[in-house]
Structures are given as structure tokens and as C-alpha cells.
Chains A and B, each alone.
Chain A
Amino acid sequence: MAAPRCFSPAPILGGALAGLFAGILMGLSWTVYSGFSGLGWSTPMQMVAGTFYGPLAFVGGAGVTAVGVVTFLFFAAVYGALFAELTPWMRSSSMGFWVGIAYSIAVWAFMRYVIAPVFNSTLAARVAVVPLWWYFLHWIYGAFLGMFTPWLREVFAEKPAPSEPAGERPLAA
């Protein structure tokens, strides 16, 4: 009988942090694009906050924008943790780049066709006008998520204690 797999929070923690970093880069790209194209610097995060406030998010001020930022980064971290859990075999950042992009396409499809229409019609209506850009934004997220995850998973991995180096542990107590 196969031994049960021990649960370790390290990969999930590393993935969540990678998702957070990738989410920050995606959010910055979105904000900069929106600002320079005349749509408003805070519009993207207000759209995210539309999950809770509907269209009134656009007149809610800085507090509502902050809610959008927190919501956005929370989901970025959750998707990152899920990615890390799904790809324990992935060890290199170069492979992670491509796997991350593939993963981001799945995330984009889920957000575009399930989450946004059901939970945030304010966002859904507006990203429908710039579909390619929103698709590409998810690539940015996925690419960085894939590159960060192996490295951060390594950082958070449990190291053997110095007094008990790997392979030199006594067989029996």
C-alpha cells in the first residue's frame, strides 16, 4: 500500500507569494495601461471592487479602490498557491515560464466566462471591450508566476536540521 503523502504548506506558501508578486506586476501593467489610455488610473481596481459594490465602485473613492486592490491580490495569491500545488514536478524557471502561461490561459478562461459574468458584471462588461488586452494581462501574470514559483518553493522548502544531515539519519532510535 502506498504511503500517504504528507501535507506540507511550503509549496503553497511559495506559490501564494509567487502569485502575489505576479499579481502586483499584472495589476501595475493594467493600471499603467488604463492610465495612459485615458480610462483612469484607478479604474482597473474599481472594476475589481465592482464584485462587492457594482457600478457604484466608480464613485466610491480611495477606500473602494483599496478593496479592489486587496481582492485582486488575494485572488492572485490563491491562484498562485493552486499553481504550486498542481506543479510539484516543475523545477526550473524557464519551464515555469511556459507552464505558467498555459496556466494563465486556463485562469483567464475561468475568469472571463465564469467568475466575471456571475460575480462581477461591472468588470465583465468593460473587459469585453478590450478582450485581447485582458487576455494578454493574464499572460503577464502566468509568465511571472511560473518563473517565481520554483524559486520561492525552494526558499520555503523545509531544510533538514543541521544535526541530522540528509542520508545520515540513524536507522533506528
Chain B
Amino acid sequence: MLLCGTDLLAGAGGMVQPPPSVSRAAFEVQVLATIRELDSVEGIAGALAIDNANDVRVREFGRRLLLDRSAIGPLWMGFGAAHRLPEAPATPGAAIPELRRYQDRIAEARVAALTTLPTLKGGSFDREFLRLVESADKTGLAALAWARRQLPDSDLTPVIDDVIPFYRQHYTIAARLALEQAMRQGGR
């Protein structure tokens, strides 16, 4: 079943303020690190899909992931550069356990994209690719929704608002294509 935006955000947890020990800048760095991680998963998986996907629509989706990086990248990279934030936090998710959990799950997807996906071909590649992107985007959306609630008045909020629709669209495409594939297989 497809999840709509509110369902996705429901898994993001309640209103949890960032720990007082974490500065606003450090929090923003962690949020950008989460986006970077998600961007990386989509980039790796998308490039593999262009070469290895069996279904033409899955291949097209891989191309879409790469094209959209051109739109999303300048948004979050531009914010980091404008605010002179370091490219990567010293410790991933340090002192923000909630965000750390999301980052770990996206990092697992990245590892799978690097290790498992290249070994697959044909229909099994398509299934794993769609599952991986769907899972990563769902986690990423939950992370961003959570982060947005913590800092409603941050300069980063408009950036989050801009990137969320892209990831939501990717999530919708992945979930829909996976569902169609499952139905086709079930019908055989």
C-alpha cells in the first residue's frame, strides 16, 4: 500500500527538542549530513539502475534520481557554503540520538547499494533497487520531518521544505513501481 505524506511523517516521533548541549549550527550540520547520506544512496543506486535495470521504467527512474540530484544538490550545498558549515560532522549523529538512528538506517541502505546491488541482475536487481530506494527515502523523509520540527525558525527550514517534495516523489515512484512488479509476479 502506498503511504501518503502524513503517514510518512507520523513515524518521525513526537516533539523532541534537540539536546541543550547541541548548538544550532551543529544541529544543522547533522541535518545536512542526513541529506548528503540520502543523496549518496540515490546517486549510487540510480547510476547502477541505468546500467543494470531490467524494466525500462526502473531504468528511467534511475536516470531521474541522478537528474534530480542536479536540482537538490545546489539547495543543501548552497546552504552549507553560505553558512560556512563544515562539509561533514566530526562524529555522525553525535549527541542527537534521534537523528543518529535515521542516519544509521540510511547508511545501511548506502552500504547495500555499494555491496549487494552490483551483484544483482534482471528482475532481482529491480526488486532490490526499488526496495532500497523506497526504504532510504522513507527514512530520510521521516528524519527531515523530525528535524524540521526541532528548528522551525531556522534558515535551514526553507531548504528542508524544498527538498522534501523531491524525496517524497522518489518514494512514491519507488513504492508504486515495486507494487506493480509485485502484482505482475503475483499474476503469473
Interface, chain A (partner B; CB < 8 A): 37-40, 43, 54-56, 58-61, 121-122, 125-126, 128-129
Contacts and interface: CB of A to CB of B under 8 A. Distances in A.
Interface of B: 56-58, 60-61, 63-64, 67-68, 70-71, 75, 162, 165-166, 168-170, 172-173, 176-177
B50 to A, nearest CB: 13
Given A59-B60, A129-B75, A40 B169 contact: no
B89 to A, nearest CB: 25
Contacts of A61: 56-57, 60
B64 A126 contact: no
B171 to A, nearest CB: 9
Contact of B165 (A38, A56, A60, A125): A125
Contacts of A58: 60-61, 64, 169, 173
B169 A38 contact: no
Contact of A128 (B68, B162, B168): B162
B37 to A, nearest CB: 21
Contacts, number: 50
B28 to A, nearest CB: 19
A51 B128 CA distance: 29
A127 to B, nearest CB: 11
Main secondary structure of the interface of B (DSSP, over half): helix
Contacts of A56: 172-173, 176
Of B63, B165, B177, the most chain A CB neighbours within 10 A belong to B165
7 contacts: A39-B71, A56-B172, A56-B176, A59-B57, A125-B168, A128-B165, A129-B71
Nearest to B176: A56
B60 A43 contact: no
A99 B17 CA distance: 52
A122 B168 CA distance: 10
Contacts of B60: 58-61
B70 A38 contact: yes
A128 B177 CA distance: 26
Contact of A38 (B56, B67, B168, B172): B67
A112 to B, nearest CB: 15
Given A61-B60, A129-B162, A55 B70 contact: no
B71 A55 contact: no
Contact of A37 (B63, B70, B75, B170): B70
A55 B173 contact: yes
Q: Which 8 A-B pairs have the closest CB atoms?
A: A125-B165, A38-B70, A55-B169, A59-B60, A40-B67, A59-B57, A58-B64, A55-B172
Contacts of A40: 63-64, 67
Nearest to A55: B169
A33 to B, nearest CB: 12
A121 B60 CA distance: 21
Contacts of A59: 57-58, 60-61, 64, 173, 177
Given A38-B70, A54-B172, A128-B162, 5 more contacts: A39-B68, A55-B172, A59-B177, A61-B60, A126-B71
